[in-house]
Structure 1
Amino acid sequence: MLRSPETEPEQLELEAVRPGGVWSLRIVWVLCVTILVFAWVDALYLGRFVPWMLGVRVLWASSMLGYTYLVRVVPRPWVGLLTVLNALISTVCVLALSMEMDGLGGPYFIMVPVLPLAITLIYRRHVRAVLVSGAVGVAGTALLLWRGNHSFYQWLTWLSVVVGIAMLAAYFSHQTFQAQQVEQQGRLKRARREALEALAFSEHRRAQSEKLAIVGRLASGVAHEINNPLAYVGSNVNFVHTELVEARELDREELAEVLAETRVGIQHIRQIVADLRGFARMDANEPTACALVDVVADAMKLASLRLKHVSFLQVDVPTDLPEIFVVRQRLVQVVLNLLINAGDVLESHPVPSSEVRLVGRAEQECVVLLVEDNGPGFAPHVLPRLFEAFFTTKSPDKGTGLGLTLSRELVEQFGGALSASNRPEGGARLRIELPVSRAGRSEAPATEPEGEARGAA
């Protein structure tokens, strides 16, 4: 399952303090207990128990524990402020312990210059926390030097060491932040690429499923188209068999004519199967320049199996139209789907002299294809929802409700548009508008667009 690219930055921002990160609850509790137990070490070192030092340790442990719990519930903008505050309290507590434990010569002062480096490892992305810890550490070191009445060279040495380590920690923290930013961008790009690949694969499967649905709707017409040539092929084979079995003189010319008819029938069957198989398997994804007339011819060849009941089938697509830049097989699927829809409407709502027309023309820098029928047209409540997924007025065996939705998506992938409207004289009109390919724009005929309103998409 892919992580959403939008939530990736927040997850990276808090990964150091969420359970399972550096600041897991178990580790924090162990550190807090260790901080409190070391109060007995203080008493052994000083030879006496100092209550306020125990209070400092309680404050330090409470700060770490409170930070670990609060960072899980506060809004994201507050995380940085909490981190800086926790780093400040930790540094002040270490300095307070160092002041009581012999200052610069005590066992705790080594933690003052080391603390910015530790914060760099713990918080990673929070550069400000490192800078605050380093600044407080430098100020505390100066205070300890002043209280101890040290020489100028000791001042210079200690302050140089503390400042140098603080600057080094800030540099490491900044570099860590930059590296995580680069890693984050890489994750975002990888997540987007995987999401786009998954979307493309899903679209391909959806398109393939709709193709197979169209093939299923063509099945009855396919059976009729195959049965006709198959009938006379079988009859001719029986005739040749009879002639060869019976012991009489053979008429070679008659047998040759019968076999020629048989060959034509077999070729017709083979062509039908090849057309359907080619349509069902078309997997080309790269657009190419092609002629609209060729696309319409391919679609008509397949649609003829479902348009036998249509009285008039007219195609008016000039051969000199500018070329379009599309995936040809997918545009064939779109046109075929529109033709089958028109045939289904005329079959379920018979009208005298049923007609389906395909009209192609050039308009400015576009090529337009109109698929029209003289059926009842679109009902007012149907037209606004026509391109909704799974919306259909057909029975389940007639359509899936995805044909027009997918057709519009495919046309839009080519930079075009698919819209629907009712003809003024009655019937439905589907309009496909496609941009002319760059190679064909210079040759596009200058024709004036006809005065007709585009349907509302």
Structure 2
Amino acid sequence: MSTVFAASILLLYPLDLLMLGQPSLATLAVRAAWCVEMLLYTWMLMNLEDRWLPLMLRLHTGLMSSLFMGIVYFTGGTGSPYMTLVPSMPLLISLIRPGDTKPAIVCGVTCALWTLGIVWRAEGPVLSALAWAGMVGASTFFGVYGSSQFRKTQAAEEEARVERERRESMETLTKAERHRAQSEKLATVGRLAASVMHEINNPLAFVGSNLEYLRTEVLAQPLPEELRREFQEVFDETRTGMERIRQIVADLKGFSRMDAEEPSECALADVVSDAARLAGVRLKHVAKLTVEIPAELPEVFATRRRLAQVLLNLLVNAGDALEEAKVQGGEVRVTGVVQGDKVTLLVEDNGPGFPAEVLPRLFESFFTTKGPEKGTGLGLSLSREMVERFGGRLTAENRPEGGARLRLELPVHKPRSVPETENPSPSGRGTG
């Protein structure tokens, strides 16, 4: 950069010719000296020790200002067009070196003394000389003041940046600590689940066997048709409830052991059917459940049982929200659409929707708006984790027309194409 500036000093010599109307060896000599000074200063910057650099900068500023004033003197003094640029020199130095006020002061003092001398030599009035020196002094003051204010602003911005980074680091650390605590809680839940699996499965098997026995015996009796249908409905609902308990126990076992069945191709219509059947018991007296899943919906690659558990959690949560809000004519709708290379399931209700302060924390572990008897705050967190394992995404939002909407997106399963191989000729069969 300094080399380019040095070259430009010499290239501006034709301006001197236009001002003077004739060649001037004096201005050429000054410009050549200025060019040499710039190159020498550049060399010193690269070779001197750092402790000498501030002194060299001030010396360079003084020499540069003197050489500029020499060009002003040899191109007409007070009548030179360059004379109008003299007050701007300290401002220019302040802009170039905003972090250091001393070069601007050196430039201002040098230019002020040269201005006094040039005006005095031209036999101008003393007041005129003092006015020119005053303008240079004023520009020096404003340059130094602006430079100091710039440094203060820069220091304040740096301090604010450091404080902002410190707060962000503290927030990151707090989130990490919270995540660690939540992970420990989840591990505790897993260990607890593993320890009670056996205790729940055994009595559940007894209850299931006894229920089937009672169902067979009761329905074998000669009963009025209306009473028989009522008993049949009660037994079916009880069996569905037991199946749900068994499903939850199996899921908890999978969470605790972390050895869930391998994902495979599955049709979302079957998954939604499983979840809707289990959720029907909860939604029966709360809302009307509508399922709109096209038969041609592409398959996804996931674990059918886990995906059904996710949908069951979403449907049960919708039922709880409608019941808590006492919505008359509650509706829960499950729809499926294809959007590009993704399959989207929407679980919507016509309830009050999510409060603004709840929506950002909806998927946090152990966060719940339900009472301790209804929820632990793990359902949505585990649901999102399961969906993400299948390469999908689970998000929540409020519908424009009112109510909540859970959006479950999964990539369309694309089976690997098996390359065709040429069938070799049967061995032992020759030609000819």
Normalized against structure 1, the TM-score is what?
A: 0.44
Whose radius of gyration is greater, 1 or 2?
2
